[in-house]
Amino acid sequence: MDLTDSRILITGGAGFIGSHLTERLLAEGNDVVVVDDFSNSQRSTLPSSVELIEGDLTDRDLVSEVIDSRIDGVFHLAARKSVNDEDPREQFEANTAMTYNVLEAMDDAGVSEIAFTSSSTVYGEAPRPTPEDYAPLEPISVYGASKLADESLLSTYAHTHGMTVWNFRFANIVGSGLRGAVIPDFIEKLQANPETLTILGNGLQEKSYMYIEDCLDAMFHVIEHADRPMNTVNLGTRTTTSVNRIADIVSDELGLDPDYEYTGGERGWTGDVPKMRLSIEKLTGMGWDGELESDNAVRRTASELIAEMVR
């Protein structure tokens, strides 16, 4: 996919990752078309130079209208991303319908290049660091199951409809604008009560946190350096950060020293994978290296989010 002077469609482009991606693609001289229903985002995250289509991507007719032959490539980010969605069946159906609609419409319009945002959750509780060829893939959440189903659809279109797919399995991506995740949650809780912080689980959950700008750099690097029909690549960091450590970092950034209280158990919620670290050998083997390790990605994000809240 040519990432300069092209016309790129981003599904879910108003969301956390999508809005950063939009900015980056505009800066590289691309025309950016965003489709989003704002179910988990706001219009105000997008600059006015974006061509914005408000709509629900589970609507097949809408998707086929939006994807025409003028589109050079697609970043498919739209998804219901909660690991404990209140209606898991609806989540599974929505996520897979969106992906199928996008692939079908691309095929009809002769658009053949797509980048997809999958997730570490497809691996379930696999040994770490988990490489891309780890098997069997046994997700433990409907969200993870929907991503794995999406990957299967993408693979089918890659191998039988001549498409090129860049399938990114993300660790936790963090940075400014992040919502509904542990770092902003701790900041909000501590602003409400600076004395005591309630931590979901036992605080020992340990995951890889990748900074958004590193994530975008890595995606662009892989798109430039991989050209098989289906290119599946983990994006993450070599190190991990525990939930206790995140609590320490956030408290430190706020200048607080709270007591911690635990809800108990080894995972924060049903379907939570308590320890996650992806192998990034494939990514680094392509000549890429990130700037921020996990703890630093968390710290920079905490500091940016605190500054955003004060503004």
Ligand X SMILES: NC(=O)c1ccc[n+]([C@@H]2O[C@H](COP(=O)([O-])OP(=O)(O)OC[C@H]3O[C@@H](n4cnc5c(N)ncnc54)[C@H](O)[C@@H]3O)[C@@H](O)[C@H]2O)c1
**Chain residue at closest Cβ approach to ligand X:** 15
**SS3 state at 156:** helix
Minimum distance from residue 248 beta carbon to ligand X (Å): 21
Side chain identity at 246, as an amino acid letter?
A: I
Minimum distance from residue 96 beta carbon to ligand X (Å): 11
Q: Of the two residues 3 and 171, which places its CB atom closer to ligand X in the complex?
A: 171
Q: Of the two residues 37 and 248, which places its CB atom closer to ligand X in the complex?
A: 37
| Catalytic residue from among 100, 123, 143, 157 | 143
Phi and psi angles of residue 109, each rounded to the nearest 5 degrees, phi first? -90, -5
Among 137, 173, 171, 131, smallest CA distance to 152 is for 137
Q: What does the DSSP 8-state code read for residue 131?
A: P
Dihedral angle sign, alpha carbons of residues 160, 68, 113, 93: negative
Minimum distance from residue 207 beta carbon to ligand X (Å): 10
Q: Of the two residues 18 and 258, which places its CB atom closer to ligand X in the complex?
A: 18
Q: Which residues contact 308 (CB under 8 A, 6 or more apart)?
A: 176, 177
Q: Which residues contact 86 (CB under 8 A, 6 or more apart)?
A: none
- Give yes or no: 143 in active site: yes
Per CB under 6 A, residues contacting ligand X are 12, 14-18, 36-41, 56-58, 77-81, 94, 98, 117, 119, 170, 172-173
Q: Of the two residues 36 and 304, which places its CB atom closer to ligand X in the complex?
A: 36
Minimum distance from residue 258 beta carbon to ligand X (Å): 25
Phi and psi angles of residue 73, each rounded to the nearest 5 degrees, phi first? -165, 160
Indicate which residues carry an active-site annotation.
143
